[in-house]
Each structure stands twice: as C-alpha cells, then as structure tokens.
Structure 1
C-alpha cells in the first residue's frame, strides 16, 4: 500500500470572526509550516515513510526509489539507486544508462 499525506500546523481557512463596528484584523502565524510525507506499507518487506518537499511526480518517484533501496538485498543496485536519488535532475536516458 502506498499513500501520501500533508501536515500543517495551521488550519487551511480564511474565515475569522470579529465584532460589528470594529476593524477587521487577522493574525498571521509566523511559524507556519507544511510537511509532506509519502509512505508505504509492505506485507513481505520493510515499510517506509519519506519526507518530501511536495507531492509532485518527481518527489513520489524518489519515495518509490527509497522504498526499492530498502527492500533490495543487492548492494550494487542500492548504490545505483542512491546515485539516481542524489542526482534528481538526470534525464530518462541518463537514468537508463546508470541502470
């Protein structure tokens, strides 16, 4: 099973209450943050949780590669996969060449 989730420390809403006749002010949280996590639950392997910057296709691909690294016993394959993860801006042809 593979799933992604996004956590934030502040509600995602723009609604606020104020008294009639008073000036509308909205407090801003200077410590607002958001964390994206992608996880997998493996029945016959090791499960993972990967913290990513976003939920875009390249970030999901990195999470899948990390899952593959953890569940691969071939150390040579793990080195190649880690090289691909470190050099995210590789083209498809360069990745095929490494593999």
Structure 2
C-alpha cells in the first residue's frame, strides 16, 4: 500500500538482519576493560553524571509530597482542571511553530 500523500510505499519489512557477525565479542565491557563474552552481563551498572548535570539535578526543586497530593486528588477526581488555562497553553505552543 502506498502512502496517499507522498505515493511512497510498498511491502513492509519482514526481517531485520544484524550487521554484527554472530561470533563477535559483545560491545559490553566490564570495569577492567576486558571484552565481555556474548550473553554475559556485568554484575552491576554504573552511571556517572557530569558536574553540570549533577549541579542542575541538585538545584531542581522536587516536592514529592506535592506530587503525591496531586496524584491522590487526580485519582479521587478532585483535581481542578482549568480548560481555559490549558487552551491558552496550547495556543502559546502553536505560536512557537
């Protein structure tokens, strides 16, 4: 079936072939920089944030109690929804497009 707008189309892709040969060493590496054997998984994962990312994360004001109150109000059906304010927000977004 062709796309009605562009006229481009055809049969859907039925299979995907990996470009990596099957016997290759996996790209995962452990802390000692030894290649992992395919199928092996590291014992732990580790993520390190840059200094800038950590600073921004520390500055972000996160009020877990407020979020829980909003979740509870939503589930109880008591959260006020201002349709006009939502529409104005969409209007502002459309102006950016």
Band of TM-score, shorter chain: under 0.3
Which of structures 1 and 2 has the bigger CA Rg? 2
More strand by share: 1
